[in-house]
Structure 1
Amino acid sequence: MIHEVKGGYVKSETHKGITSIEFFHPQSNSMPGKLLQELANEITNAGNDPDTRVIILRSTGEKVFCSGASFDELSNIRTAQEGLAFFSGFAQVINAMRKAPKLIIGRIHGKCVGGGVGLAASVDYAIAVEGADVKLSELAVGIGPFVVGPAVERKIGTSAFSQIAIDATMWRNSDWARRKGLYAELHPNLDSMEESINRLANTLAASSPEAMLEMKKVFWKGTENWDQLLAERAAISGRLILSDYSKNAIEKFKSKVVSSS
């Protein structure tokens, strides 16, 4: 099944109990609101599908797994309500992964920025390749990693989360991400990564659904308030994105991208 969104898409397919959900956007796999909505819907559907035993979350392209929020949409936000609606998209995807009664493997084939780090932190088991560096860039555009923060902090701890959130312009390499626990595995090349993903997915597809569900409940214990928490965090970002600082920073970023293309 394919859902196309402004040049991008979300698609899913199920084979032998393994549902692969793939997203793509031509702007470095950035995430406009519609794409986030479709991604949340597909994750929820796969979680409720009796034919699905395990989910793989992946994106296409070569260099970037997900570059976070769509700057085109960020620059068009005019009210706090519009801001809340946009940032709630990431909240919905994270909560969909949290609530899905199936384990989710993340295929992290490239860099993760902002919301992309949040996606990598919200899968249950992230398998990455060398070069899948990470950066929480939100402070550089006048906001903060408020929506993805709980997911990132849960996975790598408060100290590492605060480091990457404060130094918003510095890349942390993929080995840093593995050592901090964001990635469960780090592979030297794509073939090795794919082999590991296929091995684990097939093993889980043959495992007890009831046991995996109970394990997932244990892993995510203490996050029961995230529907409300992430909505509150989205409202903070939605308000801050209206500042002159944010508007200017986003325009500078967009002009830099245009001049380099």
Structure 2
Amino acid sequence: MGTDRKSGSLYTKIDGKVAIVEFGHPASNSFTSELLGRLTAELDKLSQHSTVSVILLKSEGDRAFCAGASFDELMAVATLEDGKTFFSGFANVINAMRNCSKVIVGRVQGKTVGGGVGLAAACDYVFATEASAIRLSELSIGIAPLVIAPAVERKIGVAAISELSLAPTEWKNAYWAKEKGLFSKVFDDINEMDKELDFFTQKLSEYNPEALTELKKVLWRDTSHWDKLLLERAALTGKLALSDFTIKAISKFKK
């Protein structure tokens, strides 16, 4: 059962050395600003947890993994400050994932759009199903995937992010995402994925936690400037959201 809370839901369950963090929202597991703030705080908290060594990030239900940022909140952006605050949500989550001392494993069970692709890219290892098609739809509503671009490019490279972002209405399938390096493993269905995922996370959690932390630092080397960069990108995206082009595109979308 999916959540019916307007601001979404976030639950954490600790299973041995694995923290399972599950987010949900009735609008295809999209993120409100409040939910992004809660996820950022939860990741910061788990980073300091003494016994947890692996975080499993997942979403509710068996359909979409994440539809990105809340469309209702995007439509409500009225000032440059509103825009910067709204787009800073994903910037803060990506930076929390990057700075987290624990390895983050993503579970992607279905379609993923915009900020959801950024979320998958910021995981250290990703399990996905065949149903997990991806799309960066931002250009189609007058903005661009500027905030998540560094995380996505780090995983799939400039050529693939160009292919993805410049065709904003086109879905790329899970095997394309795996070939490019966004997904680590792709499974036929959710049951098969969850069985392997449970085995993988339990095994990973048995390794030396200090070694996992040091490896994570190496995997994320040369990204310390993202603390500033992603917030600058958020401000820029907020400005784009207020352009005449975007306002017209969004009002068309509304209708």
Displacement of 1:246: 1.2
CA distance in 1, matches of 2:75, 2:99: 31
Q: Assess if the C-alpha contact under 8 Å between 1:4 and 1:10 holds in 2.
A: no
CA distance in 2, matches of 1:153, 1:33: 24
Superposed CA deviations along residues 179-230 of structure 1, whole A, max 9, x for unmatched, are: 1010000000111110111111101111101100110011000101000010
* Deviation larger for 147-156 or 245-254: 245-254
CA distance in 1, matches of 2:230, 2:4: 26
1:143 counterpart SS class: coil
Q: Assess if the C-alpha contact under 8 Å between 2:7 and 2:34 holds in 1.
A: no
Find the counterpart in structure 2 of residue 161 from structure 1: 161
2:65 counterpart SS class: strand
Displacement of 1:5: 5.7
- If the length of structure 2 is used for normalisation, what is the TM-score? 0.97
Find the counterpart in structure 2 of residue 218 from structure 1: 218
Q: Does 1:145 pair with 2:145? A: yes
Q: Does 1:205 pair with 2:205? A: yes
Q: Does 1:8 pair with 2:8? A: yes
Structure 1 gap segments, 5+ residues each: 256-261
Structure 2 gap segments, 5+ residues each: none
Find the counterpart in structure 1 of residue 35 from structure 2: 35
Displacement of 1:65: 0.4
CA distance in 2, matches of 1:244, 1:199: 51
Find the counterpart in structure 1 of residue 73 from structure 2: 73
Superposed CA deviations along residues 120-162 of structure 1, whole A, max 9, x for unmatched, are: 0000000000010000001111110000000000000110011
CA distance in 1, matches of 2:176, 2:148: 19
Find the counterpart in structure 1 of residue 113 from structure 2: 113
CA distance in 2, matches of 1:6, 1:167: 31
- If the length of structure 1 is used for normalisation, what is the TM-score? 0.94
Displacement of 1:252: 2.3
Superposed CA deviations along residues 40-84 of structure 1, whole A, max 9, x for unmatched, are: 111111111112110000001222100011110011111111100
CA RMSD after TM alignment: 1.3
Alignment of 1:241-256 (within 5 A): 241-255=241-255
CA distance in 2, matches of 1:19, 1:111: 24
* Identity over aligned pairs, percent: 45
Find the counterpart in structure 1 of residue 178 from structure 2: 178
Letter in 1 for 2:111: K
CA distance in 2, matches of 1:204, 1:64: 26
* Deviation larger for 72-81 or 240-249: 240-249
Alignment of 1:80-119 (within 5 A): 80-119=80-119
Find the counterpart in structure 2 of residue 258 from structure 1: none
Find the counterpart in structure 2 of residue 196 from structure 1: 196
Residues 119, 111 of structure 1: CA spacing in aligned structure 2 closer, same or farther, 3 A cutoff? Answer: same
Alignment of 1:51-70 (within 5 A): 51-70=51-70
CA distance in 2, matches of 1:91, 1:132: 23
4+ residue stretches of structure 1 with deviation over 6 A?
none
Residues 157, 198 of structure 1: CA spacing in aligned structure 2 closer, same or farther, 3 A cutoff? Answer: same
Letter in 1 for 2:192: S
CA distance in 2, matches of 1:109, 1:56: 13
Displacement of 1:254: 3.0
Find the counterpart in structure 2 of residue 239 from structure 1: 239
2:154 counterpart SS class: helix
CA distance in 2, matches of 1:103, 1:5: 29
Q: Assess if the C-alpha contact under 8 Å between 1:18 and 1:205 holds in 2.
A: yes
1:157 counterpart SS class: helix
Displacement of 1:4: 9.4
CA distance in 2, matches of 1:203, 1:187: 19
Displacement of 1:248: 2.1
